[in-house]
Amino acid sequence: MRTLSAYVLLAIISCVGAASSQEIVLGLSKQEIGITAFFDGSEILIFGALKHQNEASSEGELDVVITIASPRIPVVVRRKEKRLGIWMNVDALEVDLAPNFYAVATSGPFDQVVSKASDLWHQISVQKMIGAVSGPEKLENPEDFTEAIIRIRENEGLYQTLTGAVTLQNQTLFSASVTLPANLVEGSYTARIFLMSDGDVIAQHQTAIDVRKVGIERWLYNLAHQRPAVYGLLSLAIAIFSGWAAAAAFRAVRG
C-alpha cells in the first residue's frame, strides 16, 4: 500500500535537486504534524526516487541519507557536582544552536556512506548539527556538555541514528520511516535527502514539515503566552468552580 501511494505521490510531487546528473524526486506521508490533546508521537514515511539523467553515468554504488531536524534553538546545559554533600548545578554552557529533535537515517553504515568532509560541510551527523557553544572561558571540557545533550536526547528518543533504515531498491526507489516521539516542540522541521556516492554528496533535496499544536492545545498555549492575565483568571475560575462543585456534590451525597 505504501509503495503504491508513493508512486501516486511521485507523480504529483517532483522536485529537482542540486545541479547534477542525478535528480531526487521526493514524497512525504505527511507534510504537517498536528499536536493534539491526545498526541503520542507520529510516524512519518519519506519516500522517493532517483532519476538518472544519463543512464551511462558511472557513479558507482549509490547511498541515500535522510535527516529530519526541528528548528535549532539555544539550550542551556548544566553540570552537577557535589558541594557540601549535595549534588548541585555548578556550571552551565549555552549551546546556541541545537535541534530539539534530530533523526538521521542512512542506507548503510554512517562512516562508509558519509565522508568526514561531507559531514562537516553539510552537517549531517548530530555532532555536526549542534552549533556553536558559548560559556565561561574557564570550562575545562566543553565537549562534555555537547556530548551530554546528545546522550540525554538520545535517551529520550529525540536524537536518532537509524543505520540502514533507508531502503534503496534497484538504485532508484528509496523509502524510510521515522518515528517522532511525543515530546516534540513546535516549529518548521526540515527534511533533507542526500544522495551519496563514495562518501560525497552528489545531489540533495530539502523540504519542510510543519509541526504545530492544533485545536485546544494551540488555543491554550497562545492564551497562556499572549494574554497571560486572562489565562491565569481562567485557571482560577476553573479551580473555584470545581471547588464549589466538589463541595456541592459532597453535600448532596451526604444528604
Site for another protein in 7-26 (CB under 8 A): none
Does 149 sit near another protein (CB under 8 A)?
Answer: yes
Query: Partners of 161 in the beta sheet?
Result: 104
Residue 199 near residue 61, CB atoms below 8 Å: no
> What is 33-102 written as a DSSP string?
EEE-TT---EEEEEEEEEEESSTT----SEEEEEEEEPPEEEEEEEEEEEETTEEEEEEEEEEEEEES-E
**Choice between 8 and 92, CB closer to another protein:** 92
- Tell me the torsion sign for CA atoms 184, 187, 188, 190: negative
| Residues sharing a CB contact under 8 Å with residue 28, sequence separation 6 or more, in sequence order | 44, 45, 46, 47, 191, 207, 209
Residue 143 found at the interface with another protein (CB under 8 A): no
Q: With binding defined as CB under 8 A, does residue 138 bind another protein?
A: no
Quote the CA–CA distance of 119 and 121 in Å, as a whole number.
6
Taking CB under 8 A as the criterion, the residue among 8, 30, 41, 112 binding another protein is 41
Residues 58-77 that bind another protein (CB under 8 A): 73-77
Nearer to another protein, 96 or 111 (CB): 96
Query: Is residue 228 at the binding interface for another protein, with CB under 8 A as the rule?
Result: yes
Q: Which stretch binds another protein (CB under 8 A): 12-20, 109-117, 201-209, 231-239?
A: 231-239
CB of 92 to another protein, least distance (A): 6
Question: Which residue's CB is nearer to another protein, number 65 or number 95?
Answer: 95
Q: Which is nearer to another protein, 149 or 195 (CB)?
A: 149
* 154-183 positions binding another protein, by CB under 8 A: 156-157, 179, 181-183
Identified binder of another protein from the candidate list 12, 38, 138, 170, rule CB under 8 A:
38
User: 193-222: which residues touch another protein (CB under 8 A)?
Assistant: 213, 216-217, 220-221
Q: Which of 128, 185, 197, 200 binds another protein (CB under 8 A)?
A: 185
Q: Which of residues 16, 88, 120, 208 is near another protein by CB under 8 A?
A: 88
Grid coordinates of 86? 549535595
> Which contiguous run of DSSP H or E holds residue 178?
strand 173-180
Binding flag, residue 81, another protein (CB under 8 A): yes
Specify the long-range contacts of residues 117-126, CB closer than 8 Å, at least 24 apart: 117/199, 117/200, 118/194, 118/196, 118/199, 118/200, 118/201, 121/201, 122/192, 122/194, 122/201, 122/204, 124/65, 124/67, 124/194, 125/161, 126/102, 126/150, 126/159, 126/161
Which residues contact another protein (rule: CB under 8 A)? 35-41, 43, 73-82, 85-89, 92, 94, 144-145, 148-149, 151-153, 156-157, 179, 181-183, 185, 213, 216-217, 220-221, 224-225, 228-229, 231-236, 238-240, 242-247, 249-250, 253
